[in-house]
A and B are shown apart, each in its own frame.
Chain A
Amino acid sequence: MIVIEKLTKIFGYYPVLRGIDLSIEKGQFLALLGPNGSGKTTLLRILTGLSKPSGGQITIGGWNIPDEIAAVRQQLGIVSHLTLLYDTLTAEENLMFFARLYNLPQETRAERVAAMLERVGLGKRAKDVVNTFSRGMQQRLAIARALIHDPAILLLDEPYTGLDQDASALLDQLLHDVAGVAEGQRTTIMTTHDLRRAHSLTSHVAILSRGKVGFYGETTAIPADDLPRIYADTLGAAS
């Protein structure tokens, strides 16, 4: 589904990505781990077409990125640590706006928006303005926004930033429902610092260290208690 080969990205004179090789199958839920500055966010931004790679090859479903990104955009959904929402619009208006941007058919648009709001547990708050929402509710709405056009690929950049325990637990459940593992259809990539969460949610784990993939493996093959050690070893080996 997503194939990344020898990907590099240089900011000014500073190489953030120094040759990433990664291949993600359809239906996988990949956790991208790594310390700050290891290039996780940069990698996601390149996959979204928001940033241009300096070198290497990327294909998504056979399309070249970034040259043929236009063909893939309809299949991408993004969530970041920012909400990507409009504070002064209601939940419903936000979703309707993005439904328009993604050119969902007019007849089913309202239905789809209502269904998505229901799915993230915001059905009752549809007519409320977003800036009256708690951080957790905003993040759930952000996920509804990312899924409004039913994308084949979901990219999550630190979706847990700023959430409290309860909100995080709700988000866990939601991600489990909508991401690759449960549906088996959607390919999901999530960057996070939370090793335990990564282990419980995802099907694969990749650890980025100094702009390279330091470790890659199936989550089921790693005992939950070993992940912190592997993480520390990977970072230690690279420095």
Chain B
Amino acid sequence: MTTYHPNRTRLLNMMTYISMGLVFLSSLMVFAYARPEALQGNAQKIFYIHLGTFFGSFVLFSVAVVGGIQFLRTRNNKWDILGLATIEVGLGFALVNIVTGSIWARPIWNTWWTWDPRLLTVTIMWLTYAAYMMLRSGIEDPERRRRFAAVYSILAFSSVILTVVIIRIRPDTIHPVAGGPSVTSPDASGDFNMSPRVVQTLMFSIFTYIVVSITVAWHRIRLENRAQYIQSRKVELLLNA
């Protein structure tokens, strides 16, 4: 049974407004502050959302691992709900990431899709977490479902690690690397100049989408709590009828 602390509700409401404000501000920065990039022009602007949503999903999937480990240790239902909520919302963010990437690739690489290792691994990451949802719906016993989901959320993180690592170990990717050393950077097509304004805008968007992802996941947790509470009330009423 879940009770709601008024303070937590207030904090969540606050985060929701902050998220909205941040999205507005970052859009302002993207379109007014950061200048169009010399080579890619306005197409490059979608990169801010593209990277931001990737970091959002990355944070959520990482939290899901913590949720999985904690669930196996404590068997407290709330960790399972955390895992479910973060993965579901993470799937949404990863989808935005893939779609925006594809939109960007059309003018820059002249194709919606290319069989590049980075595109491949990020899509497989998405499919792995989609498989997590399939696993959940395939197991009927709720206790076992939670346990298996926790185990799989830990295993599935290997696909996230692979996505992050792949552009640094596969020399044949054409995907630009944002930050960190890479064997490809010098001649990767699609790389762009990082002027200070671009860097600032990029950092701000990443921050924005991380906050947004956490806020949305929190709303999803509340929704799940409500749904499970209603479910338990139903069972109670049926038993006492």
CB within 8 Å of B: which residues of A? 11-14
Q: Establish whether residues B141 and A13, one from each chain, have CB atoms under 8 Å apart when the complex forms.
A: no
Q: How far does the alpha carbon of A12 sit from the alpha carbon of B235 in the complex, in Å?
A: 10
Return chain A residues, CB-CB under 8 Å to B143. 11-12
Distance, CA A14 to CA B236, complexed state (A):
9
With a CB–CB cut-off of 8 A, which chain B residues contact A12? 141-143, 235
**Least distance between A10 CB and chain B CB atoms (Å):** 9
Residues of A within 8 A of B232 (CB): 13
List A contacts of B141 (CB < 8 A).
11-12
What string of 1s and 0s marks CB contacts (under 8 Å) between B93-132 and chain A?
0000000000000000000000000000000000000000
Instruction: Give 5 closest A-B pairs by Cβ, nearest first.
Output: A12-B142, A13-B235, A13-B232, A14-B235, A11-B143
Least CB separation from A54: chain B residue: B143
Closest beta carbon of chain B to A51's beta carbon, Å: 9
| A-B residue pair count with CB separations less than 8 angstroms | 13
Instruction: List 13 A–B pairs whose Cβ atoms lie within 8 Å, in order of A's numbering.
Output: A11-B141, A11-B142, A11-B143, A12-B141, A12-B142, A12-B143, A12-B235, A13-B231, A13-B232, A13-B235, A13-B236, A14-B235, A14-B239
- Smallest CB–CB gap between B206 and chain A, Å? 40
Point out residues on B near A: beta carbons under 8 Å: 141-143, 231-232, 235-236, 239
Residues on B with beta carbons closer than 8 Å to the beta carbon of A14: 235, 239
- Residues of A within 8 Å of B231, CB to CB, are 13
**Once the chains are docked, how many angstroms separate the CA of A12 from the CA of B232?**
9
> Measured between alpha carbons, how far is A14 from B240 in the docked complex, in Å?
12
Can you name the residue of chain B whose Cβ is closest to the Cβ of A210? Answer: B239
Q: Which residues of B contact A11 (CB under 8 A)?
A: 141-143
| Shortest distance from the beta carbon of A214 to any chain B beta carbon, whole Å | 18
Known: A12-B141, A12-B142. 11 other contacts (CB 8 A): A11-B141, A11-B142, A11-B143, A12-B143, A12-B235, A13-B231, A13-B232, A13-B235, A13-B236, A14-B235, A14-B239
Q: Could you tell me the distance in whole angstroms from the C-beta of A132 to the nearest C-beta in chain B?
A: 34
Residue of A nearest to B228 (CB): A13
- For the complex, give the distance between the alpha carbons of A12 and B231 in Å: 10
Closest approach, in angstroms, between the C-beta of A49 and any C-beta of chain B? 16
Shortest distance from the beta carbon of B66 to any chain A beta carbon, whole Å = 24
Shortest C-beta distance, B5 to chain A (Å), equals: 23
> In the complex, A12 Cα to B239 Cα: how many Å?
14
Which chain A residue shows the least CB distance to B234? A13
Within 8 Å CB of B142, what residues of A? 11-12
Interface centre among A11, A13, A14 (most CB of B within 10 A): A13
CB distance from B173 to the nearest CB of A (A): 46
Closest to B145 in A: A12
Select from chain B the residue with minimum beta-carbon distance to A15: B239
CB-defined contacts of A13 to chain B, threshold 8 Å? 231-232, 235-236
Please report the C-alpha to C-alpha distance between residue A14 and residue B239 in the assembled complex, in whole angstroms: 9
In the assembled complex, the Cα of A13 lies from the Cα of B143 at a distance in Å of: 10
Q: How far is the CA of A14 from the CA of B232 in the complex (A)?
A: 9
With most chain A CB atoms within 10 A of its CB, the pick from B141, B143, B231 is: B143
Shortest Cβ gap from B15 to chain A (Å): 31
What is the CB-to-nearest-CB distance from A9 to chain B, in angstroms, rounded to a whole number?
10
Taken together as a complex, chains A and B put the C-alpha atoms of A12 and B145 apart, in Å, by 11
Q: What is the bound-complex CA distance between A13 and B227, given in angstroms? A: 13
Find the A residue at minimum CB distance from B146: A12
How distant is the Cα of A3 from the Cα of B232 in the complex, in angstroms?
32
In the bound complex, CA of A105 to CA of B143 (Å): 39
* Minimum CB distance partner of A51 in chain B: B143
Expressed in whole angstroms, the minimum distance between the Cβ of A47 and any Cβ of chain B is 18
Closest to B232 in A: A13
Query: In angstroms, how far is the closest chain B Cβ from the Cβ of A65?
Result: 17
Nearest CB in chain B: distance from A87 CB, A? 25
Residues of A within 8 A of B236 (CB): 13
Chain A residue, CB-CB nearest to B235: A13
**Distance between A208 CB and nearest chain B CB, rounded to angstroms:** 17
Q: Which residues of A contact B235 (CB under 8 A)?
A: 12-14
A74 → chain B closest CB, angstroms? 27
CB distance from A52 to the nearest CB of B (A): 9
Bound together, the chains give a CA A12 to CA B141 distance in angstroms of 8
